[in-house]
Amino acid sequence: MKIYISDQIPKQIRTNLPKDNVTYLNSSSITKADLKEIQVAWGYDHHVQSLLDTPHHQLKWIQSFSAGIDYFPKQQLTDQKITLTNTSGVHSEAIANTVLLYTLYFMRDMNLALNMRRQKQWDGSRHYEELTLLSNKKWLIFGTGHIGQEIAREAKALGGYTTGVNHSGHAATNFDDTVADNAYSNIIQDADIIVNILPLTPETTHMFDHQFFNQLEHLYLFINVGRGPSVDTSALMQALDDGRVKHAALDVFEEEPLASDSPLWDYPQVLITPHNSAVSSEMLPGVQDVFVHNLQTFLKDGHPDTNIVDLTRGY
């Protein structure tokens, strides 16, 4: 059986893979003849798209490198009855740690420390109005899957109260409370911290728009570690300008990389990271474990069994 490993997959995790009756191909070794024989693709690049566009190919399953799969041609996969699996759960702890970093950055006024360093000038004044604690803060977390549950766990460990938003309002681990995605309006003004970790779907595109931000009066911190297009950037900037949102921490953006002339760079109350909240030294072994497990199941039963994506929902 032939398996294509895309350029998206780091070299560190291309070793120690099952070898029996398997031939692995990469971008430098793949040929046009291979396109009709490959049954499995790990990751996504232009070769995988060429494979999908090749008539009478044998591709049956793609293992995504990421948890989010909005960049895949979902309708094409559906039409061709190709199974897509993701790495949901692998990045949870790294993203949760990053969310806590964002929160502590503002609550402990790390802007002051960085400004002192740049200016090489000690500022010993006591900024009582800028320094606060994580305990007793109210978190409103949009998304209650693996990542949301880990964020909630870490927030609760530091004394926070966590409310999760999901499609039906069903209970979720580590959340003190949950509400449906059409029923959060009554509690949104009570939140201190709002976190978006939702996948990108037609329903979540520009979910955080002018109408959303206009419901706020004095939100302390808005965090986006989900998908950039979920947030209407102009609406967020307007909310920052109006004081409806005091701070924002953004790891993802409507267009990436963030352009050098984006007004967001000029907001001192906005913390920007380059779409790396999920990255950690522990991440790659976890990604490999998901692929190897699914591959072993595929070799045995003809299909993977872990992290199967519902292509109609987009996650």
Q: Active-site residue numbers? A: 227, 256, 275
CA distance 138 to 132: 13
SS3 291: helix
CA distance 145 to 172: 8
| 238 exposure class (CB count in 10 Å sphere: 0-12, 13-18, 19+) | middle
CA distance 252 to 225: 6
For 177: left if phi > 0, alpha if psi spans -120 to 50, otherwise beta; the answer is beta
**In angstroms, what CA-CA distances link 110 with 4, 101, 103?**
45, 10, 10
The CB density around residue 175, as the number of other CB atoms within 10 Å, is: 24
CA distance 106 to 193: 11
Contact indicator for 314, 201 with CB cutoff of 8 Å: yes
For 45: left if phi > 0, alpha if psi spans -120 to 50, otherwise beta; the answer is beta
Say which amino acid occupies 206.
Answer: H
Contact indicator for 225, 195 with CB cutoff of 8 Å: yes
CA 192 to chain CA mean position, Å: 21
